[in-house]
Structure 1
Amino acid sequence: MTSTSHITPGAEAPAPVPPLRRNRDFRMLWVGAGASLLGTRVAVAAYPLMILWGGGTPADASLVAFATLLPQLLFVLPAGALVDRWNRRRAMLICDAVGFSGMASLVVALLFGEVWLPHVMLVAFLDGAAVIVYRLAERASVRHVVHPTHLGAALSQNEARGQSTGLIGQPAGTALYSVFRWLPFLFATVTHLVAFVTLLTVRRDLQDERVKPRRMLTTEIAEGFAWVWRHRFMRSAILLVGGSNLAFQVINLTLVLIIREGGHPPYMVGLLGLLGGLGGLLGALGAARVMRRVPVQAILIGVLALWAVLIALVAVTTLPAGLGALMGGMAALGALLNVAAATYQIRVTPDVMQGRVTSVFALIGSGLNSVGALLGGVLLSAAGTSGAALITAAGMGVLAFLALCVPSIRRPPVE
């Protein structure tokens, strides 16, 4: 006997959802954000070359690097609150205009041979601040341009885009600078213009209607913290991820020292970064498929446990090819966890809280990085590379055990 589906007379069957590749608004948002990110990474790669090969000192180059990173410390929390206040499309357009103007001013300065360190620092600072606002706004906007069933795949493509720009940005910035000193910054100028134009072509609204009156910025920032704290799964997960990021600051330094102590040339460090980037790209591309079969809490526990194993193997591996394979595996797992966490967070967070909750994740998740760098120096001095890797692996194993034991992680979260 064959079964037939029953449709109420007069009712229309739901229209099929077009595949994500045919979603024009998502494509335009994806291409524009990717262009903007690539231009910024090319420019960041070219900053130290412009300074050091332009007659500046290492101290000058460090000042530019400081100006580039400072917005991450100063602006990530207020940027999240402002993204929830402002019109997201308008905020991203302004960010692209700031990036376009800053990079164009560097092109002009280089063409006329009038490079001034405070000018470069100002451009690096403003572009860094604009990138923070842009990325928070773009991430919060994705749910408004894709069908709910496509959210995981869309964020997987976004993660792959980020991994790809990381792979391309450094060599592209160096290659462009070797042709003309101003070429990397002209490239960044053009990419900001591309992002501006593509964003104008996105037809859908990028946010829900705002109905609540504005309050003090500090009050709205505190609401973001409070919302995350009340959500037990997210609260526990972000603390575990923050601990894992601390551990990876130790491992990154450990890998560099293993290469040096093995007598290998410095470019082998770049090879590790390349293999790590390729691993991250593969992990991002496969994340949507894994997420259809494995719940987010199992992904978190499994990634922490596998990281512990791979980090322990660092202690007994000396060949660059082996270290590169371990680096690629760890990066692939990291990309998978990034996509899974972002998908879950966007699904459960109210639209009016998206920017603030994402900024809290960014601050807690990456806030321990500087501490991890200091801890790495202490561990490596006291225990050497093998000892530091084993201690770090043990710490990651503890995080995996905690994730397995904590009820708010072990139980399936409700979306």
Structure 2
Amino acid sequence: MTAAGTTADAADAVAAEPGPPPLARNREYNLLWTANVVSQLGAQGTLIAYPLLVLGLGGSAFEASLAEFAIAGSRALAALPAGALADRVSRKALMLVSELGRAVALGLLALLVALGHAPLAVILVVAVVEGVCTSLFGTADQALLPGVVPASQLADAVTRNTARYYLATIVGPGIGGFLYGVQRLLPFLTQAVTSALAFVTLLFLRAPAPRPAADGADAGRGDAADGPGEGPQESTLQAMAAGLRWLRGNRPVRATVLLGTAFNLVFSGLLITVVVMAQQDGRSGAEIGAIGALIGAGGVLGALSAGVLRRSLTPFTALMVLTWASAALVPLLAVVPTGWPAGLVLGAAAFLAPTATALVAGHQMMVTPDAMRGRLAGLIGVSMGAAAALGPLLSGLLLETVHGVPTVLSCAAAFLLIALGVAATPAVRAFPALPDDRGHPPGS
């Protein structure tokens, strides 16, 4: 046999080698996805039900806002230790504990509401429990994803997870509001039931075994694909510090986390700006609600299109398109009518987000050692949580001083600076593309 013949045979053998099964037939991924979407739908319903409950029980607007702050604040504060914990214990067990804790806490609150005795202190404690459990679940879920999905399908999996989030934001609040209108306890009882269903679903998940680590130092440097629970045990503080050192030493991941945080800070502030402007213009509650629905719809449509778009865009190009398009779209909010037209503008910006998220987050997961994935998810959770809290606060201060249109234009200027930052950052320009499975049958 000639050398040319041997080479051709080898190439034919590689080409004939079957690829991984489609995500639709990936049992572990589908169990993980299903448990998360069921839980998220319930959580989005209670998000609107907490302030409604406080107001319905005679509380003030400030007391109602405390419930929202309790969830967001506890979730952000818990993210970093939750990430360290997800790298030290069984991630499946962590998800089971978080869903069980959420089911018990929300079930107790539903019982107290039914008995007519749900003091504000109890509502706030339950909100904190829900925020902490959400943080534990989310970090473990993100850390576990690369273990159940091949690298070639990671971007598609992230895209589907993004669609899951936007779908929950569209459907969940509407369900929560409707259930609260029927009976006050129903949103909380529903969340307890959905968390219990997620718990049962996760029982059937076959989580991948952790990969052994050579030593604790390897995990800190990011040189080995370490697994949780192996090697010398470190304290939670040491684990958190190791995660920070790893992120500081990985320029592409660090740069994209910082840019993503800045983008979310501005976008979250812009959302509250648009809502306040609509209220000041006397728009109805239905029109204001349509803003959130249109943003969610844009995200879902973007997630459905991301499978095609990400194959024609590099991560750098996707980030450039997202940031420059946002900088161009946002000034329209200064001239279009408030209400649903503003929702269309924000929905157009949201349409572009899933493609960039899939390309960037997929690479972040792939290059992060297994023993660091929980910590990276925790760090991202802290930064995004801080952005979600600070964005509305900064926009609120601007609205109080310079009012609506200047605040919108300030947000547009901030997006322009972020876009310039993307263009000027070498680590982002060189951000590598993920491998994909275009050589394999469709549907994978």
Give the TM-score, by structure 2 length. 0.86
Question: Are 2:418 and 1:399 aligned?
Answer: yes
Show structure 2 runs of 5+ residues with no match: 213-228, 435-444
Corresponding residue of 1:125:
128
Q: In 2, are the aligned partners of 1:92 and 1:138 still within 8 Å (CA)?
A: yes
Closer, same or farther: CA 6–132 of 1 in aligned 2, 3 Å: same
Corresponding residue of 2:320:
301
Q: Which moved more, 1:285-294 or 1:27-36?
A: 285-294
Question: Percent identical across equivalent pairs?
Answer: 31
Question: Are 2:250 and 1:231 aligned?
Answer: yes
Aligned match for 1:336, one of 342, 355, 380: 355
4+ residue runs over 4 A deviation: 7-13
Corresponding residue of 2:197:
194
Aligned match for 2:233, one of 206, 211, 214: 214
Residues in 1 aligned to 2:425 and 2:19: alpha-carbon distance in whole angstroms: 40
Closer, same or farther: CA 63–373 of 1 in aligned 2, 3 Å: closer
Q: How far 1:345 sits from its partner (Å)?
A: 0.9
Residues in 2 aligned to 1:370 and 1:116: alpha-carbon distance in whole angstroms: 25
Closer, same or farther: CA 177–411 of 1 in aligned 2, 3 Å: same
Q: Which moved more, 1:15-24 or 1:191-200?
A: 15-24
Look up the equivalent residue of 2:418 and give its one-letter code. L
Residues in 1 aligned to 2:62 and 2:401: alpha-carbon distance in whole angstroms: 29
Look up the equivalent residue of 1:30 and give its one-letter code. W
Look up the equivalent residue of 1:121 and give its one-letter code. L
Q: What SS does the aligned partner of 2:173 have?
A: helix
Closer, same or farther: CA 413–10 of 1 in aligned 2, 3 Å: closer
Q: What SS does the aligned partner of 2:117 have?
A: coil
Q: What SS does the aligned partner of 1:75 have?
A: helix
Question: Are 2:85 and 1:82 aligned?
Answer: yes
Q: How far 1:410 sits from its partner (Å)?
A: 1.6
Q: What SS does the aligned partner of 2:87 have?
A: helix
Corresponding residue of 1:72:
75
Q: Which moved more, 1:298-307 or 1:239-248?
A: 239-248
Closer, same or farther: CA 250–191 of 1 in aligned 2, 3 Å: closer
Q: How far 1:8 sits from its partner (Å)?
A: 9.1
Q: How far 1:318 sits from its partner (Å)?
A: 2.1
What do residues 181-206 of structure 1 show as CA deviations (whole Å, max 9, x unaligned)? 22222211211111111111112426
Question: Are 2:192 and 1:173 aligned?
Answer: no
Residues in 1 aligned to 2:389 and 2:42: alpha-carbon distance in whole angstroms: 26
Closer, same or farther: CA 305–53 of 1 in aligned 2, 3 Å: same
Q: How far 1:9 sits from its partner (Å)?
A: 11
Corresponding residue of 1:163:
166
Closer, same or farther: CA 121–263 of 1 in aligned 2, 3 Å: closer
Q: Which moved more, 1:176-185 or 1:344-353?
A: 176-185
Q: How far 1:176 sits from its partner (Å)?
A: 1.1
Show structure 1 runs of 5+ residues with no match: none
Q: What SS does the aligned partner of 1:86 have?
A: coil
Q: How far 1:309 sits from its partner (Å)?
A: 0.3
Corresponding residue of 1:34:
37
Closer, same or farther: CA 33–319 of 1 in aligned 2, 3 Å: closer
Q: How far 1:138 sits from its partner (Å)?
A: 0.8
Q: In 1, are the aligned partners of 2:302 and 2:355 still within 8 Å (CA)?
A: yes
Look up the equivalent residue of 2:301 and give its one-letter code. L
Q: In 2, are the aligned partners of 1:88 and 1:207 still within 8 Å (CA)?
A: no
Q: How far 1:402 sits from its partner (Å)?
A: 2.2
Closer, same or farther: CA 215–49 of 1 in aligned 2, 3 Å: same
Look up the equivalent residue of 1:21 and give its one-letter code. A
Give the TM-score, by structure 1 length. 0.92
Corresponding residue of 1:134:
137
Residues in 1 aligned to 2:279 and 2:14: alpha-carbon distance in whole angstroms: 70
Residues in 1 aligned to 2:131 and 2:184: alpha-carbon distance in whole angstroms: 21
